[in-house]
Amino acid sequence: MKYPIMIRVKQKQIAQLVSLGKRLDGRGLNDYRGIQLEVGVVGRAEGSARVRLGKTEVLVGTKIELGEPFPDVPNQGVLTVNAELVPLASPTFEPGPPREDAIELARVVDRGVRESKAIALEELCVEPGKKVFIVFVDVYVLNHDGNLIDASALAALAALLNTKMFNYEVKEGKIEVKPGYKPLSVKNYPIAVTFAQIDDKLVVDPWLEEEQVMDARITITTDKDGKICALQKGGYGYFTTQQVLEAAKIAKEKAEELRKLVVKG
Amino acid sequence: MAQKKPEKLIDEKDVRLDGRGLKELRPMKIEVGVLGNADGSAYIEQGKNKILAAVYGPKEAHPKHLAIPDRALLRCRYHMAPFSVEERKSPAPSRREVELSKVIREALEPAVFVEYYPRTSIDTFVEVLQADGGTRCAAITVASLALADAGIPMRGLVAACAAGKVEGRLVLDLDDIEDKEGEADLPLAWMSHSNAITLLQMDGSLTLDEFGQAVNMAVEGCKQIHGLQKETLKAKYVAVKEEVEE
């Protein structure tokens, strides 16, 4: 990635502050920005959620359709996560097929939902090998101000919890959709927590300027039991074993806080 | 032809399907300088994995607007041959391959002195000829050797290896079936310089405690692979030096 000149200038300032345990926007090293969550914002979608993480804004919509299962898992429904970095969200996003970062974003969100077994895919099977439900989770980034992964993962979970599923009956091999809906069953609540490494220190929830000067990034997703279910390192720097273990501990604590925002009761 | 899933992947004596112990790597064979046209190349066999890597560069960056004024552009393409897996894989790059290309590049870049070659590109190509689990790790191990073989200055070699959890036990270097049937897979790349972890991913389910153990186990595995990498380079270049001196 190319750094704009101004970022180079800010790099020293950001790093100096971080070494004192402070951040440019006044947060502590382990603090998230303010989080606002709205669900059911798009009526046409089966489920939807909009997350504002500071100035970062992500909208996630889910759709459920009938389709064919993958041949290697004929009795399971399908989960598909896609992310669009739409050009209206940042001067650095361009129209066109998903770039590497969009694909990584989608796959990291996907890994959290899939590996925590948040969606019981067996329950989405209608006719083994022939008909299953496909859950599409579409991540739409509306404003990029850093840490798209955590915002998207949070919005995806909130959207899935908001998703309504058809009532249906299978009669003589045909599916009859019946009136009314029931909520999609969500069994686990994976929460992604991302750290940026700046001058050998870890900061939680990096915003855009911190992302631009960071050496490396690590995302740790934990499930409702505090187990780690997905992990992704990014960026051109590296971590020590010590840092990774420390990050895992903080991620678990932070995830518990965030989970309370999405999962009520 | 799908294989039938065996009932047990690890027996009572902690012996795995292919006869390995829990903390044992698969047998490995590494060669460097295997391709004629590339500036550097290497080949690895790790269990049933067979992977080729080639490096072209440093050379003028194309397209030109991608050139970076103060360092080299390191590019990486991880690609699987259509015949490398059970069911034919379409040769078009999948989303998985795009992501792996990115994380492999980010695993290698901390090791390369990219600042020595501003405005150039260093292109790394990895072709998986046969896959049997843990290909991203083997790809990093072999690509870092290809970079070294191309004579590109590096802080150290990057070695990679996965640890994971299979049938309740932590194991090193998972093969395909252990990865698919197991509870967790944690690929990790390690560079001797600064004791650095340059790639870390995970899927599955691990407690914090298991996670710590798995990370340490993977680092130990990487250290073994690193030894093998060094031997391979020495075997080639020390031998050549002796011939010249005679």
Average pLDDT over chain B, rounded to an integer:
94
At A131-184, the pLDDT tens digits run: 999 999 999 999 999 999 999 999 999 999 999 998 888 777 777 888 888 999
Q: For an interface test with B, which of A2, A241, A254 has the most B Cβ atoms less than 10 Å from its Cβ?
A: A241
ipTM score of complex: 0.89
The domain made up of A5-262 has a fold known as Ribosomal Protein S5; domain 2 (3.30.230)
Q: For an interface test with A, which of B68, B74, B95 has the most A Cβ atoms less than 10 Å from its Cβ?
A: B95
- Which residues are CB-contacts of A233 (< 8 A; sequence separation ≥ 6)? A216, A217, A218, A219, A239, B103, B106, B197, B198, B199, B200, B201
Instruction: Give how far A189 is from chain B: nearest CA, Å.
Output: 13
Q: Tell whether A187 lies on the interface with B, counting CB pairs under 8 A.
A: no
Contact B215 A72 (CB under 8 A): no
Instruction: Give how far A33 is from chain B: nearest CA, Å.
Output: 25
Which residues of chain A from 87 to 116 reach within 8 Å of chain B, CB to CB? 100, 103-104, 106-107, 111, 114-116
**Ranges of each domain in chain A:** 5-262
State the SS3 of B160-227. EEEEEEECCEEEECCCHHHHHHCCEEEEEEEECHHHEEEEEEEEEEECHHHHHHHHHHHHHHHHHHHH
Q: Which of B99, B203, B205 sits opposite A104 (nearest CB)?
A: B99
Contact B200 A116 (CB under 8 A): no
Contact B110 A237 (CB under 8 A): yes
B63 burial (CB, 10 Å; 0-12 / 13-18 / 19+) is exposed
The pLDDT of residue B52:
98
- DSSP per residue over A181-192, as a string? EEEPPB----EE
Nearest CA-CA partner of B127 in B57, B55, B199 = B55
Distance CA B121, CA B150 (A): 13
The phi, psi pair for A191, rounded to 5°, reads: -130, 125
Nearest CA-CA partner of A135 in A64, A69, A239, A185 = A64
At A28-79, the pLDDT tens digits run: 999 999 999 999 999 999 999 999 999 999 999 999 999 999 998 999 999 9
Stretch A118-140: mean pLDDT, rounded?
A: 94
Distance CA A203, CA A146 (A): 13
For chains A and B, CB pairs below 8 A equal 95
Q: Are B238 and B38 in contact (CB under 8 A)?
A: no
Distance CA B180, CA A134 (A): 22
At B1, the pLDDT band (50, 70, 90 cuts) reads very low
Nearest CA-CA partner of B151 in B236, B44, B48 = B236
pLDDT higher at A90 or B4: A90
Residue type, A80: T
Contact B99 A100 (CB under 8 A): yes
Q: For an interface test with B, which of A117, A219, A231 has the most B Cβ atoms less than 10 Å from its Cβ?
A: A231
Distance CA B65, CA B72 (A): 13
Instruction: Give how far A213 is from chain B: nearest CA, Å.
Output: 15
Stretch B3-30: mean pLDDT, rounded?
A: 91
Q: Tell whether A227 lies on the interface with B, counting CB pairs under 8 A.
A: yes
Instruction: Give how far A39 is from chain B: nearest CA, Å.
Output: 28
Residue B180 CA from chain centroid, whole number = 19
The domain made up of B28-245 has a fold known as Ribosomal Protein S5; domain 2 (3.30.230)
The pLDDT of residue B133:
95
- DSSP per residue over B31-54, as a string? EE---SSSSEEEEEEETTEEEEEE
> For residue B181, what are its two tokens?
């049937």
Residue B65 DSSP symbol: G
Q: Which of A114, A229, A240 sits opposite B196 (nearest CB)?
A: A240
At B77-132, the pLDDT tens digits run: 999 999 999 999 999 999 999 999 999 999 999 999 999 999 999 999 999 999 99
Q: Are A150 and A108 in contact (CB under 8 A)?
A: no
Q: Are B76 and B62 in contact (CB under 8 A)?
A: no
Instruction: Give how far B242 is from chain A: nearest CA, Å.
Output: 37
The pLDDT of residue A17:
94
Contact B201 A232 (CB under 8 A): yes
Q: Are A66 and A49 in contact (CB under 8 A)?
A: no
For residues A23, A27, A31, A33, the Cα torsion angle rounded to the nearest 10 degrees is: -110
